[in-house]
Amino acid sequence: MASQAVRALRPTSPPKGFSLLETLVVVAILGLVMAMAGLSLFQAADRKLQSQVDRLQAVLQTVSDRAAIMQRDHRLVLDKEGFWIEEQRRGQWLQQTAFPMQYRSWETGLSFQGEAAVIRVDRTGLIEPSRLDFEQRGRSVILLVDPFARVSLKQVGQQ
């Protein structure tokens, strides 16, 4: 008789579905994965922006060195599509096509704000200090250029 009572207490079929605890654990794991992916995407945008700043700084340093060596005025021209280098020869500005001064487009997601801008480099290699306004995926970005070809990221904010 005792065996019949034990059989009556045992479930006749295995439980179907997931328990509340199992579901909560899966949701928590998915939340952590999504949070890490979101942070990674934001960091990727910041890394891309820093890469563009480094690229612009390297080009400005090259132009500064070239201007000092050749004793000629140069300028960096920026517009919505990209940037290029021009050199002054016999009173005329001539676009340079040799590497690394040829025309370069902006990285994806980064756009220059406003009309074309010019950063002048005198024959001693000093650069005219400038402020450059960009937009990157809805954020305003301000780059500052100092006389020694250093480009710094001043502000990143929502528009």
> Using one digit for the tens of pLDDT, what is the confidence trace for 16-49?
778 888 899 999 999 999 988 877 777 777 788 8
Domains and CATH numbers, the chain: 19-158 (3.55.40.10)
pLDDT band for position 158 (cuts 50, 70, 90): low
- pLDDT at residue 64, as a whole number: 95
Name the pLDDT band for 9 (thresholds 50, 70, 90). low
Q: What is the pLDDT of residue 5?
A: 56
Q: Which positions ≥6 away from 120 have C-beta within 8 Å?
A: 73, 74, 75, 127, 128
pLDDT score of 6: 57
* Tens digits of residue pLDDT in 108-118: 778 888 888 99
pLDDT of 116-147, one tens digit each?
A: 899 999 999 999 999 999 988 788 889 999 99
Nearest-10 Cα torsion for 98, 111, 65, 121: 110
Q: What percent of the chain stands above pLDDT 90?
A: 48
Neighbouring C-beta atoms of residue 74, cutoff 10 Å:
26
Residue 10: the pLDDT is 64
pLDDT, averaged across the chain: 86
pLDDT at residue number 8: 58
The pLDDT of residue 75 is 95
**pLDDT value at position 110?**
82
